[in-house]
Structure 1
Amino acid sequence: MSPTPTGRWIPTATGGELVISRTFRAPIEDVWASVTESDRTARWFGPWKGDARPGGRIRYQMIQEEGAPWSEARIEACEPPRRLVLTDSMAHLELRLSTVDTGTLLELVHHLPGPDGVGAGDYGPGWEFYLDALVASRDDTPMPDFNDYYPSMKPYFEALLE
């Protein structure tokens, strides 16, 4: 079964937000731990280490990327258990968590500069993959295959910008 893209494009005054979300039948604190505790992020994204406070810097490893490189990010905001904002050399990311009737809504927001959303076709499939990997890690099910996401989802994300 092929995964279905869920991303949305929201134009803003400074560019736009590529928003991809998942809902979990779990308390907000537990989902927060899945996206902020290194031993838990290691299960679906990769581990991290460093100074995890606003203004601090962390190093993180994206285990699904070729060569599993380590990168550096700055923590712009950390408001447990509702909001985390990170910037690195390639992205300005925000995680927003909220309580909903069925549990917790997690929104991954990739802020893109400029109204044309350059890069959404490449970033979107990757974030869909990583959020499905988060779901798999929490449900103890097999990890998704990136080849099911890219390049097949690229046209969907490019069409969001039209």
Structure 2
Amino acid sequence: MSTTDTPRATGRHQERDGVAYLVFERTFRAPIADVWAAATESDRLVRWIGHWAGDPSSGSVSFWMTAEAADAPEETIYIDVCDAPQRLVMRSARPDDSAVEWTWQIDLAETDGVTTLTFAQEVGDATLAEGVGPGWDYYLDRMVAAETGADPGTVDFDAYYPALTEHYRNELA
């Protein structure tokens, strides 16, 4: 998505085991292993969101969300499920309240050379969804740009937020 395109809200509310999630999908004309690498390998992640360091087999890694700023603070990401290349479940402390965790789920499925990435983030209420929803549309569009050879830098966050907040407020209302 370039700066001349108008982004659209793609996330939808879904209950999973009684918990509210925003769920997003993106498709890639690529094998599942390639999309898995784009979503999990530090040198691929850095192109669209950030990078990590550490040993994932320990159950956690350090992550820096550098898409906004090179000096992003370090976060600890806990890896709860890693079933490569189909499923990854992670969690971390929310930036606004370290006692509350965010949970993310990534599921991949390939059919005829097209891989669908389904990304879900737990959200507790409409207020949280107002920021999380536009943010993930933005980041996932940056991922698509990076993986299709476009420049993720042309994806402008200001086109997503606050323009898409009403959609996400209504999804959880």
TM-score, reference length from structure 1: 0.91
Q: 1:74-95 CA distances to partner (integer Å, 9 max, x unpaired)? A: 1001000000011100210011
SS in 2 for 1:89: strand
CA distance in 2, matches of 1:13, 1:85: 14
Q: 1:50-79 CA distances to partner (integer Å, 9 max, x unpaired)? A: 1213x6111111112354222111100100
What is the match of residue 140 of structure 1?
Answer: 149
CA distance in 1, matches of 2:17, 2:82: 24
Count of residues in correspondence between the two structures: 159
Residue type at the aligned position of 1:161 = L
* Structure 2 spans left out of the alignment, 5+ residues: 95-101
- Determine if contact 2:38/2:45 at 8 Å carries over to the other structure: yes
What is the match of residue 29 of structure 1?
Answer: 33
What is the match of residue 11 of structure 1?
Answer: 15
CA distance in 2, matches of 1:80, 1:32: 7
After TM superposition, the structure 1 stretch with the greater mean CA deviation from structure 2, 95-104 or 14-23, is: 95-104
2:138 to 129, 132, 155: 129
- Give the deviation of 1:111 after TM superposition: 1.7
SS in 1 for 2:56: coil
Q: 1:134 to 1:22 in 2, by over 3 A?
A: same
TM-score, reference length from structure 2: 0.85
- Determine if contact 2:53/2:62 at 8 Å carries over to the other structure: yes
Backbone CA RMSD of aligned residues:
1.6
Q: 1:106-126 CA distances to partner (integer Å, 9 max, x unpaired)? A: 01110234xx45411110111
Identity of aligned residues (%): 38
- Determine if contact 1:10/1:18 at 8 Å carries over to the other structure: yes
* Structure 1 spans left out of the alignment, 5+ residues: none
Give structure 1 regions of 4+ aligned residues with deviation exceeding 6 angstroms.
none
Residue type at the aligned position of 1:103 = V
Q: Tell whether 2:76 aligns with 1:59.
A: no
Q: 1:58 to 1:12 in 2, by over 3 A?
A: same
Q: Tell whether 2:86 aligns with 1:77.
A: no
SS in 2 for 1:104: strand
Q: 1:36 to 1:12 in 2, by over 3 A?
A: closer
Q: 1:117 to 1:98 in 2, by over 3 A?
A: farther
